[in-house]
Amino acid sequence: MKNLDFAADKALAKDFLNNFADANGEPKYLTLLQDVANRRTRSVQIELDDLFNYKDLDEEFLQRVTENTRRYISIFAEAVDELMPEPTELFSAEDDHDILMTQRAEDMTDNADNSDPFRRMPPDIKRFFEVYIKAFSKGTPLTIRQVKASNIGQLVKISGIVTRCSDVKPLMQVAVYTCEECGFEIYQEVTARVFMPLYECPSVRCKTNNTKGNLILQLRASKFLKFQEAKIQELSEHVPKGHIPRSLTVHLRGELTRKVAPGDVVELSGIFLPIPYTGFRAMRAGLIADTYLEIMSVTHFKKKYEDYELSEDEQKQIEGLAEDGDIYNKLARSLAPEIFGHEDVKKALLLLLVGAPHRKLSDGMKIRGDLHICLMGDPGVAKSQLLKHIINVAPRGVYTTGRGSSGVGLTAAVQRDPVTNEMILEGGALVLADMGICAIDEFDKMEESDRTAIHEVMEQQTVSIAKAGITTSLNARTAVLAAANPAWGRYDLRRSPAENINLPPALLSRFDLLWLILDKADMDTDLEMARHVVHVHQNLESPSLGFTPLEPSVLRAYISTARRTSPSVPRELEEYIATAYSSIRQEEAKSSAPHSYTTVRTLLSILRISIALARLRFSAAVAQSDVDEALRLMQMSKFSLYSEDRQRSGLDAISDIYSILRDEAARSNRLDVSYAHALNWISRKGYSEAQLKECLEEYASLNVWQIHPNTFDIRFIDA
């Protein structure tokens, strides 16, 4: 063991803090220390990348810092103490710390020679900052399994998912006592989780006078740190086959508390340390010690939408994308490009990610802004793959399956806390996905009693609980994305849609879009799809889409920018939306077997989808095209059923388009129909523009109507 020269290392640390300059030539750490002196920040984070790039440091110093991090934190803290500049701004001395420090400075004059060791003020009590050492940014993080005994005391970087967090509690760092006899302040440094308080005054004066001075613990004068304990579990992709995931306790102190929440996927760097069991557990544990990680830095893999701070390049890229006229289609096709077709489903899922703003009325009533979508379809139409992909793209997403989750697992469970032995609430999947997306696969296979737990979340967006003496309401502002199979495994065309869907009307009306995906045999589509699948299988990427699909990180950045706008519905569209809604209700009343339940919630759904579309264009107002697209998506979600109805009624596409145009013209009592209106009407029924043009030509040759040569507007000849 080399004799470690800590004084020389402290000189090196001071030199580094004094002279290190960032890319612009600014003194990085001196600027930071000035901010600390002005009480703007409390943490001094020393990055290993900077130590590595600093020319005057040898590699041995860097190695010593990574292998004996706990000691070097105190060395850097001492260096910071000596370099700390005077504050340049006025700040209010509301903090007890500042008032006490000025008093202590006056009192310390009689112990100036430090003859009494217990009255020597520990350096920790003078500091109003914390020092952290951040691991290298490059290099892959270790898994929890790879952290071994050889890493004890070293700086390690691990990745995992946070499973539980304790509340933030104060942790004593320096205990301060006053003696009733001599009146001196006595300091006791606390390094472990537990400590033995002093009862007799150990000062020189009390010992000389041979009086056993009684000590009183002064909580207000003591130094406390914020402390939080969390559990991190390894990610499922790092678990070897046949094993269960391991977990590790992590301790967060000071400014790092409240940085993580259950369900976050994070990369943590910290010091791997042992901790002996204390109290009653020590008797049972014998010689066994526990290990924990003392955190130095926290990095989130996926930022929340609110936390996105775009660099100038990203800002320009997003502005460039927003000016692209076809951005809606491009964003939708960038979702799971390996999955063939389903273009409208992907558009709906894109709108689910964007969502609409929550509305709060003046009397406190809330109207939800999240979209809920249910994908109901035959086996093998890539429902689960779409769900998994959406969870990957969303910054906060939870994936569960119907059979694997109980009603309590979705909402909240009451459990005993292993540390304090109190009854505590553990949030379930829907609470963990607050402000995110909860994907529930195999929705139809859930028990009926468990499915009722979702009703309240989908409309009121809270989870109310009255169990074990805990009565509370938790937030669950979640967008629900469910995937289900029809009642008999496959959709049975001989039965009515209500029999096939087999979900209660109360639940169905809460879904903004119920997407029916039928797997029908069609020569051309099947050929295209087979080619696509084989191509993906061989090349491990999707065939070219005519543009490069956007990366999930770019998608997240674009959506986070879009979510900052809060579009409103203009006056002139109110009548248009009302008419569209009433016509949907009329159609449903006429049909013998309705495909869905149209309620006022449907009207709110139209508004939500329109607002989400306006957000994608970064527009402050909803346009008529947004409402038309919302209505089209609602029609397209049942498209596969309409095409079946048509085949039954024996109408071909051309005749059906003619009857649609004739009925709409008769309803509005007009002889002239604009081409845009005609296209809007037929696209709602799932027909294409090419079919409309074919119909216009065929019936023009029969002298049913005349067509304008330039604008393609229609005029009926026979009234």
Cβ-proximal residues to 123 (8 Å cutoff; 6+ apart), any chain? 77, 78, 81
Burial of 377 (0-12, 13-18, 19+ CB in 10 A): buried
Helix, strand and coil in the chain, % to nearest 5: 45, 20, 35
Say what the pLDDT of residue 645 is: 59
How far apart are alpha carbons 309 and 305 in whole angstroms? 9
Residue numbers in the chain where pLDDT is lower than 50: 1
List, as one string, the DSSP characters of 530-586: HHHHHHHHHHSSPPP-SSPPPPHHHHHHHHHHHTT---B--GGGHHHHHHHHHHHHH
What is the per-residue pLDDT for 594?
59
- Specify the pLDDT at position 250: 92
Output the pLDDT for position 295: 93
Q: What residues have CB less than 8 Å from 360, skipping those under 6 apart?
A: 366, 367
What's residue 276's pLDDT? Answer: 81
Tell me the C-alpha distance between 552 and 716, whole Å.
50
For helices 327-334 and 312-323, the axis angle rounded to 10 degrees is: 120
Determine the pLDDT at residue 297: 92
Note whether 342 and 386 are within 8 A (CB).
yes
Chain position carrying tokens 């678990």 = 239
Whole-number Å distance between alpha carbons of 327 and 323:
8
Phi and psi torsions of 246, nearest 5°: -95, 160
Check residue 158 and give its pLDDT.
Answer: 93
What's the pLDDT at 1? 44
Are the C-beta atoms of residues 376 and 517 closer than 8 Å to each other? yes
**Locate tokens 């976050």: which residue?**
264
Residues written for the chain: 719
Q: Are residues 298 and 266 in contact, defined by beta-carbon separation less than 8 angstroms? A: yes
Contacts 24+ apart (CB under 8 A), 342-350: 342/381, 342/382, 342/386, 342/517, 344/633, 344/636, 344/637, 344/639, 345/375, 345/386, 345/515, 345/517, 346/386, 347/633, 348/373, 348/513, 348/515, 348/633, 348/637, 349/373, 349/386, 349/390, 349/481, 350/616
- Is there a contact between 619 and 629 (Cβ–Cβ < 8 Å)? no
